[in-house]
Amino acid sequence: MTHTASTLMPFFGLIRVSGEDRASFLHNQLSNDINHLPAGQACLATYNTAKGRVIANIVLLNRGEDIILIAAADLCETLQKKLQIYIMRSKVKLECMEEWGAAVSVPASTTTPTEPQYVLPTVQTKQIWYITLPDNSTIQIGKINQLPPLNTETAKAWQAHEINSGNPWISAATTETCVAQMLNQQLIGAVHFKKGCYPGQEIIARAQYRGQVKRGLALLETTDTLSTGATITDSNNEEVGLIINQVQQETTTLALAVIKHSAAETQLQSGNNPIAIKNCFFTTVHAKNA
């Protein structure tokens, strides 16, 4: 697998989960099957409200002696506090890993998974862990002083790759706004439908089997600037979506948004700025749910 240069990605923060009940505790809180995640392997998951809204989407790394949660840095404190409430008598400890960080590499090519990937390819080299995401990009986990330094251009290239791949990352500006299916988390292996109960499970299962999701991911482009969390409207100035991620390029801004399926053929805007739809990632999902 060929990648371009790597860069530190300050977007991500890390939480260490230790204690003998760590796997069962996380299994009961998150959307994936953590009980069966092998040591030395990683997976995706979402942490949801009781109403099924995604608080954060997460990469989990099982190091054997502990489990590392990788999520948006501006959500890590919230994530830790919410999880802490449910520890009760479980033998679990949560701690922020301030000296650790995540770096990313942009792949030479993009892959689209044909099946959900419940376990991600993971390799350890000395003190660095390499996790390959379903879109073929790589996250590296280690102490910040052992990771590559921040390279703004490489960071933007990775953000553009994630947006073009339809791979959203929830942050503080978009937390608790979408159910997992709006973010295609069920397609990439972040949601396990046979694992049992967790917060929001009933809502997410109902959305999956009854086809009640009416919003999905779309790739947008505009010549103006956009803000994460900004509202998208149609020509009648009615709300039809939300910017999840965005990155400014030389002459345009690329964005990944969740929009109403019914808005896919309409003129979109944010403020007074017109927005073009380049691709809809919910075409197949919508057909299954029709």
Summarize pLDDT for 25-69 with one digit per residue, the tens: 999 999 999 999 999 999 999 999 999 999 999 999 999 999 999
**Pair 12, 70: CB distance under 8 Å:** yes
Better-predicted residue by pLDDT, 106 or 284: 106
Q: Quote the DSSP letter at residue 149.
A: P
| Range 211-218 average pLDDT | 89
Q: How confident is the model at residue 283 (pLDDT cuts 50, 70, 90)?
A: low
Q: Which residues 6+ apart lie within 8 Å of 190 measured at CB?
A: 31, 32, 43, 44, 45, 46, 57, 116, 180
pTM higher than 0.95 = no
Ranges for all domains in the chain classified under CATH 2.40.30.160: 214-290
Q: Quote the DSSP letter at residue 53.
A: B
Ranges for all domains in the chain classified under CATH 3.30.1360.120: 3-164
Query: For the domain bounded by 3-164, which CATH number is listed?
Result: 3.30.1360.120
Task: List pLDDT tens digits, range 222-255.
Answer: 999 999 999 999 989 999 999 999 999 989 999 9
What's 214-290's CATH class? Answer: mainly beta
**Pair 60, 45: CB distance under 8 Å:** yes
Look at residue 1 and tell me whether its pLDDT is greater than 80. no
